[in-house]
Structure 1
Amino acid sequence: MVSEFEKIEKPEGPPRIAGARAVRPKDAATLILVRRDGAAPRILMGRRSGGHSFMPNLWVFPGGRVDRADYRAPHGTDLRAEVAATFEAHASAARGRALALAAIRETFEEAGLLLARPAPARPAAGPWREFLAHGALPDLAAVEILARAVTPPAIGKRFDTWFLMADAERLMSLDRRPDSGELEEIGWFTHDEALSLPLPQITRGMVRETLARLEHPERPRPYMRFRHGAVRIDAL
């Protein structure tokens, strides 16, 4: 399948130590929020701190690694049947749900936004404590799958990342709650504006993929991997 990912030649990240075995990729998920309340769709992006050793000062979508707590976090709605089926073609049902929950949690932690349904506040421990304290339960039904990308074996820090999308109208509010500060600033950008920002290569590809998905909802969902140093694109 044709994809912008075929232009990616040298993915960002520290190289693997010479002679060492390839690192097993860690499960991760990213959430692309789309606003449709203007003349053109806008997507949420945030700038990483200049103090980060990995991709400093670059603009990215909120997201991160799956935490063990994501496997048991409560949720207000469940994944839509077609989304669950796509996950389950590649992973267990529990893993697919955890990936979606991780993307929603990280969006709250990094951008202070709740993709959630109102619910009574409840006590909790661990990474979900502050989210649930806001009187919110994750809205998994709002999530759809955009793409999947696995960092190549030559990179020392590897991720198996699922890129997810959701309409910003499903947020409890566009007003930010206090967040972790990992993203130094956030903003809503048209696709042309986003492409003018300093972006990692994979993020640039996902910006274009988001626009293609909005224009053609039935577009195949790309699955990007590397084989023998070359990009391989399949459909999920």
Structure 2
Amino acid sequence: MGETDARLRRAQIDGPPIRDAATVIVLRDAATAPRVLMGQRGSGAAFMPNKFVFPGGAVDAADAGVPLACPLNAACETRLRAETDPALAPALVAAAIREVWEETGLIFGVPGAWDRPAPEGWEGFAASGHLPSPRGFHFVFRAITPPGRPRRFDARFFLVEAEAVVNDPDDFSGAQEELSHLQWVPLPEARGFDLPFITEVVLAEVARLSRQGLPPDSVPFFNNRTGRSEFLRLD
């Protein structure tokens, strides 16, 4: 085993665990002047400080038991189940909806009462009088953080048009301050912000899909699980 291979193997064994995560690209005015919702991470954040990102974060254990208002669309669910535990798919979408709620105050849901007490982290969403809804969500990208980073995620990126937001898309007063400078960024200008590399790559895919339309014909997957970067497509 060479020195580089040994170092990568140590990073895989000794580094932080890879956590499942969900990220949401909310696209507005796709047919006319496309904009995406982004915010800035804090300077003290352990992961990607000061970077402009889409809303998102790690899957919580409680997300698996959250009642979704409708099933995932078939293509989305099939691709989410590829190369992972198939049972994880609903929790990933629930986490995506929760993270948008927490970080922006925007609601993807339908009016309705929960048939059980809301789990930890979901109390505020349930109190809004909505059930979380994945209607309009499309799975468009997946990337695993390479070894050597302070935190590692297996992130699934969802694209959804802003028309699916049921409250005011310009009102971020309900945000829990995890992201600052929340704003709708014109798609052609987004790459001028201070972005993580993977966000730049995802933006290029979003630009392509905004022209081509949804759903995507396949999902790019940057598999960096072992340190050997592998590019796949999930059909």
TM-score bracket, shorter-length normalisation: 0.7 to 0.9
Query: Taking structure 1 as reference, are residues 16 and 193 closer, same or farther at Cα in structure 2, changes over 3 Å only?
Result: farther
Give the counterpart letter for 2:179 in structure 1: L
Q: Is the 8 A contact 1:118 1:172 kept in 2?
A: no
2:151 equivalent to 1:153: no
Among residues 88, 102, 120, which one is paired with 1:95 in the alignment? 88
Give the counterpart letter for 1:88 in structure 2: R
Give the whole-Å Cα distance in 1 for the aligned partners of 2:36 and 2:174. 20
Moved more, 122-131 or 192-201: 122-131
**1:180 Cα deviation after fit:** 1.1
Query: Taking structure 1 as reference, are residues 53 and 93 closer, same or farther at Cα in structure 2, changes over 3 Å only?
Result: closer
Give the whole-Å Cα distance in 1 for the aligned partners of 2:163 and 2:9. 41
Q: Is the 8 A contact 1:16 1:156 kept in 2?
A: no
Give the whole-Å Cα distance in 2 for the aligned partners of 1:70 and 1:165. 19
Give the whole-Å Cα distance in 2 for the aligned partners of 1:113 and 1:16. 41
2:64 equivalent to 1:66: no
Moved more, 182-191 or 51-60: 51-60
| TM-score normalized with structure 1 length | 0.85
Among residues 20, 28, 31, which one is paired with 2:21 in the alignment? 28
What per-residue deviation string (whole Å, max 9, x for no partner) do you get for residues 166-213 of structure 1? 111011121335221010121111212211111011111111111112
Moved more, 104-113 or 45-54: 45-54
Give the counterpart letter for 1:191 in structure 2: L
Give the counterpart letter for 1:224 in structure 2: F
Give the whole-Å Cα distance in 1 for the aligned partners of 2:88 and 2:225. 24
Q: Is the 8 A contact 2:20 2:59 kept in 1?
A: yes
How do 1:143-182 residues align onto structure 2 when only pairs under 5 Å count?
A: 143-173=137-167, 174=169, 175-182=171-178
What does residue 190 of structure 1 align with?
Answer: 186
Give the whole-Å Cα distance in 2 for the aligned partners of 1:234 and 1:125. 35
**1:19 Cα deviation after fit:** 9.6
What does residue 231 of structure 1 align with?
Answer: 229
What does residue 3 of structure 2 align with?
Answer: none
Give the whole-Å Cα distance in 2 for the aligned partners of 1:121 and 1:18. 43
Query: Taking structure 1 as reference, are residues 120 and 57 closer, same or farther at Cα in structure 2, changes over 3 Å only?
Result: same
Moved more, 35-44 or 107-116: 35-44
Look up the SS of the partner of 2:184 in the other structure.
strand
2:140 equivalent to 1:134: no
How do 1:111-126 residues align onto structure 2 when only pairs under 5 Å count?
A: 111-120=104-113, 123-126=117-120
Look up the SS of the partner of 1:142 in the other structure.
coil
Look up the SS of the partner of 2:159 in the other structure.
strand
Give the whole-Å Cα distance in 1 for the aligned partners of 2:57 and 2:200. 17
Query: Taking structure 1 as reference, are residues 16 and 137 closer, same or farther at Cα in structure 2, changes over 3 Å only?
Result: farther
**1:229 Cα deviation after fit:** 4.8
Q: Is the 8 A contact 2:25 2:54 kept in 1?
A: yes
Which consecutive residues of structure 1, in runs of 5 or more, have no partner in the other structure?
1-14
Query: Taking structure 1 as reference, are residues 221 and 209 closer, same or farther at Cα in structure 2, changes over 3 Å only?
Result: same
Look up the SS of the partner of 2:199 in the other structure.
helix
What per-residue deviation string (whole Å, max 9, x for no partner) do you get for residues 102-151 of structure 1? 01100110011111112237752410110010011111122111110011
**1:220 Cα deviation after fit:** 2.7
* Percent identical: 36
Q: Is the 8 A contact 1:17 1:156 kept in 2?
A: no
